[in-house]
Amino acid sequence: MKNHIDLTNEYVLENSNVLLRPMRISDLNNLLKFSIEEPHLWKYSLVTAAGAENLQKYIQLAEKGRAQQKEYAFIVFDKKRNEYAGSTRFYDIQPEYQTVQLGYTWYGKDFQGTGVNKNCKYLLLEFAFETWEVERVEFRADNNNERSIAAMKSIGCTVEGVLRSNMPKREGGRRDSIVLSILKPEWKDGIKENLKKRI
């Protein structure tokens, strides 16, 4: 992975349905409608992008994470609808351990359940395992976020367990975080083909 990962590259991942490219501050207007009209999208998120000011901070934090070689955020474009759909990113990128986490994923309500997520996950997992050559992709979510957990299980993730009182919530208190993962052999031995059939 050390030889393959370079966060200064402008990676573009696409198929006939979606296009993912690096998210930048100039995308503020492309995502603003979600930020203003659908603030509930970040109900379970540790970092909110609800409201124009928070969206700006959200994107700036993503850019900072990339500059620090820790994160790589994408904006998602739905080719079928010819509209921006949301965002997702790699984070906690650890070349020395050949691991990465995939998360900070959200889509506007009109793009949920349409296949956008499965298309994005296919492209991201293919990239992680076959270009960056990682051994493990990890996913985490608030243990109460049933929709997100169901989506991760549906693409082939294995539940590893729950980290109790793992992170502070924005509104106070703490959350339990569920941990799921896909390993390179699992990707090669069936998850890739199963996911490909469904996009």
Percent of the chain with pLDDT over 90: 94
Q: Which residue do the tokens 């955020």 mark? A: 73
pLDDT 10s digits, 157-167: 999 999 999 99
pLDDT attached to residue 1: 46
* Residue bearing the bigger pLDDT, 138 or 46: 138
pLDDT attached to residue 3: 53
Cα torsion at 132, 30, 58, 152 (round to 10°)? -50
Report the distance separating Cα 92 and Cα 80, nearest Å.
31
Round the average pLDDT of the chain to a whole number and report it. Answer: 95
Percent of the chain with pLDDT over 70: 98
- Burial of 96 by CB count in 10 Å (0-12 exposed, 13-18 middle, 19+ buried)? exposed
Is residue 4 over pLDDT 80?
no
pTM: 0.95
With beta carbons less than 8 A apart as the criterion, state whether 90 and 30 touch. Answer: no
Average pLDDT estimate for 63-91 = 97
Interacting residues of 100 by C-beta distance below 8 A, sequence separation 6+: 90, 91, 92, 93, 94, 128, 132, 134, 136, 137, 138
Beta-bridge partners for 167: 175
Is residue 41 over pLDDT 80?
yes
SS3 187: helix
pLDDT 10s digits, 92-126: 999 999 999 999 999 999 999 999 999 999 999 99
Q: How far, rounded to the nearest angstrom, does the alpha carbon of residue 106 sit from its chain's CA centroid? A: 8
Cα–Cα distances (Å) from 69 to 9, 62, 66, 135, in that order, read 11, 11, 5, 19
